[in-house]
Copies of this chain bind each other. A is one copy, B any other.
Amino acid sequence: MRAAPSQEEVRRQNLGALLRYVHVHGATSRAELTTSLGLNRSTIGALTAELTAAGLVSERAPRETGRAGRPSLVVRPESARVYAYACSIEVDTLRAARVGLGGVVLDRRELVRTPGLPAEESVPVLAGFVKEMHQTVPEGSVYVGAGVAVCGMMRGDHGAVHVHPPQGWVDGSLGPALATDLDSNRPVLVNRAADVSALAEHTRGAAAGLENVIYLHHDVGVDAGIIVGGRRLTGHGGYGGEVGHMVVNRGGHPCGCGSHGCWETEIGEHALLQAAGRDGATGPGAARAVVEAAAYGDATAQTAVRQVGDWLGFGVANLVNIFNPDVVIFGGPLRDIYLAAATRVRSRINAVALPAIRDHVRLRTPQLGEEAALIGAAELAFGQLLADPLDAAA
């Protein structure tokens, strides 16, 4: 029931729309911008001039087209100059990168992380990475903010972070800590890895251009970044997407959450290792080893992969009935399991999901691979700039 924007808001919204277009699509001619944004040529010219003056885009003549007439100028994002920091706290890795407008990774650092390390102890490491990268930033560059992807479960964009067991429920405050370490008042936005990975794939990956997306993620548990009608499903308190705790096997294995037969007890790494008779093994490498053993003909491993693939398809079928999505993306270790058991997953979906719904759903693996969370964290930071380019770049 909000009233319409004022003229000044309209201008900022148009600046944001143009900047977002080149951020997502890269160098774009003025002619294409005119068509795609539905604005007239003089407006596109004026907006481009403002964004150029702010140092956010640059214009140049295109290469010779061979066509008659004056060629349309090409607008490109100032990727080398305008940047965000992106951090990702994963189960076994800490990553940080300097990412230029347009999603270009300009610099990066990573460190193998002791699993179970409390989230707060990751903060000084990541801040150190950022300081290191910061020393080589060319003069005249524009820092727009930072984004952090966190494995586990968390609440809110700025505030308290609850990291999932087995790391303990930590009520840390990553955002403010990083802001202090970066010595900047630019925003530091923190979100779940599942959500930022979904954002990344939706912006420039396997879900680009699709409105209804389920990105399945597996780190300490199984959850999902869900996009409904082009917008992120957050729910009341930011906890939406806890699909790993959908009970699929009533009376099944006990789950860390206190319930039984949660989806993550059937499709998680632990389930795969247990089914393969490798209870003692740990880490993402261990799960991958089972999938590889299956590929090389190990019968026990093959049975384990089929069993987990079966439950994977079963839970996806439920989500497909509930959401009628355009695409389901299998992220993290679920990627390998999906690829090894794709026929099983699809056949389970065909058995359980309604025909009108299942026919349209695409099953995909992430296009951005293990970088998805990092790229998504940068998108979080760029989100502020794209919402109001002149203010955020000031």
Find chain B residues with CB under 8 A from A211 CB: 236
Known contacts A231-B229, A233-B229, A235-B212; is-contact A246 B5 (Cβ 8 Å): no
A77 to chain B, nearest CB (A): 14
Q: Chain B interface: which of A34-42, A57-65, A103-111, A176-184?
A: A34-42
A231 nearest CB neighbor, chain B only: B229
Residue contact B14 to A243, C-beta cutoff 8 Å: no
A226 nearest CB neighbor, chain B only: B322
**Further contacts, 11 of them, CB under 8 A, given A2-B17, A3-B13, A4-B10:** A1-B21, A3-B38, A228-B229, A229-B232, A229-B233, A235-B324, A238-B324, A242-B322, A246-B318, A246-B322, A247-B318
A20 nearest CB neighbor, chain B only: B1
Residue contact A11 to B4, C-beta cutoff 8 Å: yes
Find chain B residues with CB under 8 A from A238 CB: 324
CA distance A135 to B20 in the complex (A): 54
Cβ-based interface call for A162 (8 A) = yes
Known contacts A229-B233, A237-B357, A361-B236; is-contact A247 B324 (Cβ 8 Å): no
* Interface residues on chain A, number (Cβ under 8 Å): 69
Cβ-based interface call for A245 (8 A) = yes
CA distance A228 to B1 in the complex (A): 16
CA distance A17 to B4 in the complex (A): 8
Find chain B residues with CB under 8 A from A257 CB: 354
Known contacts A236-B325, A246-B318; is-contact A1 B13 (Cβ 8 Å): no
| CB contact list, A327-366 vs B, under 8 A | 351-354, 356-357, 360-361
Find chain B residues with CB under 8 A from A241 CB: 322, 324
CA distance A246 to B321 in the complex (A): 7
| CB contact list, A11-27 vs B, under 8 A | 11-14, 17-18, 20-21, 24
CA distance A235 to B210 in the complex (A): 11
Residue contact A356 to B2, C-beta cutoff 8 Å: no
| CB contact list, A174-231 vs B, under 8 A | 211-212, 228-229, 231
